[in-house]
Structure 1
């Protein structure tokens, strides 16, 4: 069937139309070859958006800046010396030492480039660190920590001789509440995700490693993301404006910071597979955003030879796919131009030069753990940073009568499978590997959770569990500790216990979407403990949204902490918050609803059983908090929410225009586009500031958040357009929060002009502590 499918894609001249027009006899032919029976062709399904053909693929030119120009000069010189076969070899993946390896040209000194997962640490290796997951980093709302995170990641990849790190992630953006891979990404908001994408990309590449923002584009669910015996992969159908304002938006930040690679996705987008979608690759990525680097396929995401080459794919992973000798033949017979082949090779080598990797890059030091080898230790002092990020991304959502921070308790009880490393004798001991092997046997008693499953999972050198860290602290205070990691109903209470801590988690993974945002075992455990303990503190480690209304209002549940996915120092990070060594400043990177049905059509992934399944993004711009605002739904905990052990006041709002009064609605068309988009999109056109003061009794840090209401009844009432961590502030201390607004921040995507456009009118300005706790408001007129 694969052979037949690939021939059909290659024979038809415009790959964008293939899937949408393969009806009737073609569908029956494919079904028959797969041994399936289809009673009738799939019906026409309306979809939102289209994927028009954009050819030819733009030739990379290195004009974004001097550094890219120099890299292209070296790359072109090298490629000009290569035969067709050598250029072809560079564009195909090979299995071997690394997760993926590009082809080499030994006579010219071009090595195989080493590619490896994951976005939160080098996966499957020894003496590497397990960093917090992307969603946890987003919960810090801290651009400096995001950069330091990326830099530390890059240092470990560099130390292992890995040329290309497969991250960071903004696809999925978190559109689907139960999405299996939401935890790999950087929140449900394009602005917050963009800040993370830019900072992490810069950090990775400052360490000398090529970053690979992924998955480009619209990879928002696991269900039917790939073709199978059920039929083709799901098609994410989205209109042009939503495509840009939500899903392209965060990738722009990564590209602006010089990302050397981008990974295309598995699923179809507006009826065309992501790695042969010429609109997404040639049109938006390489023309509109002037991408200078190379596009690499997700592993096994190529569906055609000629069509994917002409649509803008530059490197196929992992085993050559439909290329190799077939690509040589296609170039020789003119199906793929020699210029396109040269551009593919040049883009790959230009990124290699751009990161100064020739001659100085260490050889790969990766090896299967089952094979005896010399181990290269790249951990450095990253454990301290991991602990810092772990604490900074911890979100306190309930704290009755100052239950927390602890004040040297002498008697604590710990309950729940998530408190320790392995809660039951039949739990899977390979839990921390993060590989696919842990998914099938997953159950709720597997122990504490520091990462999710699949290719995005990390491989920790050790794990500090919450129980271990609590035990260390209670020992210092010469206290007493009692525990039960297994029981759903622990039974007789310890009447002298000062507090009962209940640890639960919510798992998610690549390959499947979450079945629920809650689980009965955990909810019953919390309620059973609360029934016998008047001071019950719940800690949730989760791969995303976890609803809590089954127990959140129980009078004996006095404090609730969303612990996220904090990495290997999990227990130390948590205890520093519980005991007040760190005042919590984490804020939710998503909306927690009162009930799952509040997410509406965006709760579950598409369940279409058609041979060509569709998922229409008919909600447009209204996902997460934007949808809750539009539909008047009161969340349990809103986007941006988080408590502190102290209190803060906001005052003295100031809104000043820079060049806004003289701005044209559209950027100057005569200005050359550079990587990341039109350079004027990043011009600062207004500055908003306010004063944040600590009105409480403890030192603490506030996250001031700026939301903008763009003129027009077709825009969300509010969307995040700035944030600033203010602190630490001592009691009574005040500091200014400053938000710089760019042209892009205030623009909408004009589908007619095919450009970002400023709207004339009154922009509403809101500043506060969350998307609903808005303390100050003003206006900006353009």
Structure 2
């Protein structure tokens, strides 16, 4: 995949050099810091147009955080990796690339390829896998898909960024062998696939901040791996001028203020930074501009636009990624014709967690809940009894636009006014959401934001209202006196303030009708405002809601219990403290299972959770954070319209404490990667700990016999393995054949390849897996190079890291070479 999607990665370097020669030092340096939060400066005289950047990887949000500017919401990256199919990841990437083109985005800040070192990692859901080989395969597919539409990917966060706690300051101490064999592998795969950008992370590695880390940015990434793209900082990660410029950072974001600008011009003139260093950075940005069609005189990309069937594709991808963890008695797939009544229970049935929290957030055009998906799938033929049972939301729900009216026009939504210190209205807009985020988009001089709406009250009683977000507020409900509210966040991290804000509640006794609600928020000095206006109608007592769910399950043909996390549990900005499902969800599952033996649990989460009830229920379907079409995809998976053929990309522990690597918290500012490569499934094996569900586990809807394995070494030194499998089930199904290698001293088995096959009932298929020399190699610390030590290896074909089916032996040749030659 060195030429993703047929897009030429090579450009006319002589022509780039000629454009560079036209620029003054000030113009060159001006190009290396953002013009604002999401763009670079254009330079008209050389035909350089504005380059827009956008967050990812759940979708292409664009340059605003605005519900009126919608974007496709994809299954979370762990779900994409769970397909164990780079073609499906490429398919998702192609959709993102097409939507980026529609939004005018040239530089896409995805994928996040840090590893699942600990299940507590806050951005676990946003990363692919605990295994570097599986992650590398996913990265290659994603790069090909996005850049096939002439949009630059940004592989991030380079490197050692597996924790969110103190992420701006911690030092990841990673042994060289571990760095090479584990954490660099996905980034190397991204470079091999032709990635046009890499993002330098906030943290340090082995004593040097990544934005100042010459060894990792220049010596390894650019010189050794041959990366010819641009290195961009994470937002606000650049902390120095000359040091970061000399280290190999190319673009400091965001702008217009940064440690570069005039300070970098002065550093060049003072001889602290060589002019050639600046020239190299500018050439890298111009190269990216040429590749994405933003530089005159270079071939433009072919037209691309989001396809009309994008929603259907997202639905299909999400269903394929789901993992059948348990299926006793073949209760799944459900057969609608055999069902008269089903109970649909749990907090995530009507309120799907479609995405995690943080900068990956997008505003989708809609989110299909599981309840809506099941109603559409079953129609009127099956009675559905829905009961929430328990609640898990910490903050009151946002106010839906369909029950809110603009006080001035009567249109659905919220009137938002921007006021000066003197109370003058500087601007106004109609919004369709009651939780708002402004990233550098407030009108100049804004001192206060006022949100007004006429809320339709359909149920009399005691209603709860709240404001959320750090700051000074007033909240008025009807004719009552405004409540003055001060909310202070426990953390100064902007992202944590966004996804886990403080909240203050106010009760109001209301009758049926319309009530005016007005919130005022004093804006901070920083041009980023985040606040919410929330509401909850009267609801049953907690014990009554719980009992109603259990009673609904008692007489149902099948009880479907939807449990999961929220975007306050899984988010950028902080790590989890445990793997428990929030609220009384575990209690609800056990109570339902006690009254209905055909209980199916659907887990709506992006990262592992404890499932103490897993042996009490008939089936468990892991649905991930499935994106905007999640409800339809879940219905497709439950009914077998699409086989949920996913396999776990990470190990699920019985309890959190079983995880061999658990802590994400620095000690004296340091996170010690002393475990080396022995984390995830390799650590479970070495520690003789039995997980709840192992890496690679997934039942699908088929059963398989492994019949034969044959291996041979090719002339190039690669190893080709053929594994013959037979579908012993009753329907066409897909199998993922995983290949592990042993015989490397005392190290546990490690994944070196995989392939999938599809076969009809009773049919046989052969999976061919090719393992190149680079994957077989290990880092020789004494010689500082890669080496394949000759000798015997054990090759194991398996259904998971613990379900090993066939074994063969092979002798490999001894060789030593650089990364690219192996």
Are positions 1:218 and 2:148 aligned together? no
Partner deviation per Cα, 1:275-296 (whole Å, 9 max, x = no partner): 1111110111011111101100
The TM-score with structure 2 as length reference comes to 0.75
In 2, Cα distance between equivalents of 1:559 and 1:66 = 45
Alpha-carbon spacing, 1:641–1:82, altered in 2? closer, same or farther (3 Å): same
SS at 2:156's partner residue? Answer: coil
TM superposition shift of 1:482: 3.7
Name the structure 1 match of 2:412.
none
Alpha-carbon spacing, 1:155–1:68, altered in 2? closer, same or farther (3 Å): closer
The answer as to whether partners of 2:7 and 2:150 remain within 8 angstroms in 1 is no
Name the structure 2 match of 1:404.
332
Count of residue pairs brought into register by the alignment: 638
TM superposition shift of 1:180: 0.4
Name the structure 2 match of 1:84.
25
SS at 1:101's partner residue? Answer: coil
Name the structure 2 match of 1:720.
751
Name the structure 2 match of 1:586.
646
The answer as to whether partners of 2:705 and 2:725 remain within 8 angstroms in 1 is yes
Name the structure 2 match of 1:750.
780
SS at 1:330's partner residue? Answer: helix
In 2, Cα distance between equivalents of 1:457 and 1:380 = 23
The answer as to whether partners of 2:143 and 2:195 remain within 8 angstroms in 1 is yes
Alpha-carbon spacing, 1:767–1:753, altered in 2? closer, same or farther (3 Å): same
TM superposition shift of 1:710: 4.9
Name the structure 1 match of 2:218.
282
Partner deviation per Cα, 1:705-749 (whole Å, 9 max, x = no partner): 111125223xx321111111111x111111110001101110001
TM superposition shift of 1:315: 0.3
The answer as to whether partners of 2:230 and 2:288 remain within 8 angstroms in 1 is yes
Are positions 1:142 and 2:94 aligned together? no
Name the structure 1 match of 2:801.
771
Name the structure 2 match of 1:419.
349
In 2, Cα distance between equivalents of 1:253 and 1:71 = 25
Alignment of 1:634-645 (within 5 A): 634-645=690-701
Unmatched segments (≥5 aa) in structure 1: 1-61, 227-232, 364-375, 421-446, 664-684
Name the structure 2 match of 1:170.
113
Question: Which of these residues, 292, 302, 318, is aligned with residue 390 of structure 1?
Answer: 318
Name the structure 2 match of 1:740.
770
The answer as to whether partners of 1:150 and 1:204 remain within 8 angstroms in 2 is yes
Alpha-carbon spacing, 1:191–1:726, altered in 2? closer, same or farther (3 Å): same
The answer as to whether partners of 1:118 and 1:166 remain within 8 angstroms in 2 is yes
SS at 1:778's partner residue? Answer: strand
The TM-score with structure 1 as length reference comes to 0.79
The answer as to whether partners of 1:94 and 1:102 remain within 8 angstroms in 2 is yes
SS at 1:170's partner residue? Answer: coil
Name the structure 2 match of 1:759.
789
Partner deviation per Cα, 1:288-311 (whole Å, 9 max, x = no partner): 111101100000001111000000
Question: Which of these residues, 708, 716, 731, is aligned with residue 652 of structure 1?
Answer: 708
Partner deviation per Cα, 1:156-197 (whole Å, 9 max, x = no partner): 0111110100011112x1112100001111111000100011
Name the structure 1 match of 2:52.
114
The answer as to whether partners of 2:342 and 2:385 remain within 8 angstroms in 1 is yes
TM superposition shift of 1:492: 2.8
Moved more, 269-278 or 338-347: 269-278
TM superposition shift of 1:205: 0.5
TM superposition shift of 1:342: 0.4
Name the structure 2 match of 1:352.
289
The answer as to whether partners of 1:160 and 1:378 remain within 8 angstroms in 2 is no
SS at 1:197's partner residue? Answer: helix
Question: Which of these residues, 563, 566, 570, is aligned with residue 508 of structure 1?
Answer: 570
The answer as to whether partners of 1:235 and 1:615 remain within 8 angstroms in 2 is yes
Name the structure 1 match of 2:460.
none
Alpha-carbon spacing, 1:706–1:377, altered in 2? closer, same or farther (3 Å): closer
Q: Which has the higher helix share?
A: 1
Name the structure 1 match of 2:186.
250
Name the structure 1 match of 2:735.
702
The answer as to whether partners of 1:710 and 1:746 remain within 8 angstroms in 2 is no
Name the structure 2 match of 1:458.
362
Name the structure 1 match of 2:411.
none
TM superposition shift of 1:313: 0.3
TM superposition shift of 1:71: 4.0
Question: Which of these residues, 360, 378, 383, is aligned with residue 474 of structure 1?
Answer: 378
Unmatched segments (≥5 aa) in structure 2: 391-544, 813-822
SS at 2:158's partner residue? Answer: coil
In 2, Cα distance between equivalents of 1:724 and 1:68 = 28
In 1, Cα distance between equivalents of 2:299 and 2:54 = 15
Partner deviation per Cα, 1:619-644 (whole Å, 9 max, x = no partner): 00111001001111111100000112
Alpha-carbon spacing, 1:633–1:362, altered in 2? closer, same or farther (3 Å): same
TM superposition shift of 1:494: 5.2
The answer as to whether partners of 1:588 and 1:639 remain within 8 angstroms in 2 is yes
